Chains A and B, each alone.
Chain A
Amino acid sequence: MTMTRTRIALLSAVAAGLVVSGYAFALPEGVDTIQVKAASKDHPLDELYSGWHFRTPETQALQEDDFENPGFLWVEQGVDLWETADGSEGKSCASCHGDAAESMAEAGAAMPKWNEALGKPVNMEQQINLCRSERMGAKPWKWESSELLSMTAFVRNQSRGKPVDVQVDGPMKPWFEKGETLYNTRVGQLDLACSSCHQNYYGQSIRADRLSQGQSNGFPTYRLKWQKLGSLHRRFKGCMSQVRAEPYKVGSDEFLALELYVNWRGQGLPVETPAVRQ
């Protein structure tokens, strides 16, 4: 990646800001840092920043307090659902997985993951629904339903503070490459790729909004705009609609590949679920 002078100036400004600003290190409990160096030299970014950095102090404060953070309303619903038996087998999540704090301590940081039986990767939402249909004999939850969001947020929250660590080699490689291509392909009437904003102009203003790196480590995320928790695929759809493109469907192979690639772009950033964004 060639570094423009603007980018170097921008990065030093960010670095300087981190040192002088009081709230930058007042992180949510269990989160050590929200800014890390890219893991590998061939990473398109030098420094990785959680979307938290690009928000106003009020939005940041909302995430910092586990009581005031409305995303925890969903996490709490997930606590109940974890213990609730459903389907023909009379099982709950806890029947197989026991205490989520132990069994799910790493899972939230490592999705999407290769599924040998299906011959493709699955993300957290898909894995939860696979458990429901195959082990519990229960109906899969609808994408973006309160139940699926709650369970996804609850499970990912168990991995809060753990660095994102997705596998991108072996059978995952073609999916990773597909995701990378999607990320860099211009779409829609505005003719913008993900990279047009989140790679090339993060930290700068798009109208009154501050562009982030488009990191995924806080999903499902409570968005002020949505006034509720929402999935990463919902966010992808929103971005695509806003550049006046025809969005892919939630749970589609395209979004799955994109999720894998975007998660890799945040490799090393701690899981923040449930994050709060604008």
Chain B
Amino acid sequence: MKALGLKGKTMEDMTRRDALAFAAGLVAITVLPLPVLAAEETAMDEINKFVGGGEAAESGRVTLETPEIAENGNTVPLTVMVDSPMTADDYVKRVLIVADANPRPGVATFHFSPKSGVAEASTRMRLARTQNVIAVAELSDGSFHMAKSMVKVTIGGCGG
């Protein structure tokens, strides 16, 4: 709610009773989450497989749009755009999306064709916690380009 100009206030007029109840709730919540399971395959593994010995450059040709803060990790909007004329001999073939702290890093692979007109796609993804989302594009000339974006995933009020 940045646009409404409302900053989180300290609950200065909260009663002592409320404050204790909140504190108790917070303690209960902080001990609940289980340790994050180690990913079987890391995001790096996925990217390496995708580029197959090539190298992905952060060249600025890939733009990844994600919210800075996601209200809920279950539905996080994502748009990826790659700067390309999308003609028969110069186009974007594929774009891999990975999330580096999900239990399984793979999110999706978009396959474009010159018929796509522009190399742009949007979807909604699940993020288990605050992490980097990485997009790697493979162009028809065999080059790879990437972009990275951090999404903070918040946990709701009373742990919900």
Contact = CB atoms under 8 A, between A and B. Distances in A.
A238 B157 CA distance: 11
A85 to B, nearest CB: 36
Contact of A208 (B14, B25, B154): B154
B21 A224 contact: no
A225 interface: yes
Q: How large is the interface on A (under 10, 10 to 19, 20 to 34, 35 or more residues)?
A: 35 or more
Interface stretch (B1-9, B36-44, B56-64, B94-102): B1-9
A225 B24 contact: no
B3 A21 contact: yes
Interface stretch (A50-58, A107-115, A260-268): A50-58
Contact of B156 (A53, A225, A244): A225
A17 B74 contact: no
Contact of B67 (A17, A58, A197): A58
Among B18, B24, B155, B156: residue with most chain A CB under 10 A: B156
A204 B8 contact: yes
Contacts of A203: 6
Contacts, number: 110
Contacts of A197: 157
Contacts of A189: 24
Contacts of B14: 201
Contacts of B13: 4, 6
Interface of A: 4, 6, 10, 13-14, 16-18, 20-24, 53-59, 62, 189-192, 196-197, 201, 203-211, 223-225, 227, 238-239, 242-244, 278
Q: Which 7 A-B pairs have the closest CB atoms?
A: A17-B4, A205-B8, A208-B154, A242-B158, A21-B3, A278-B71, A224-B72
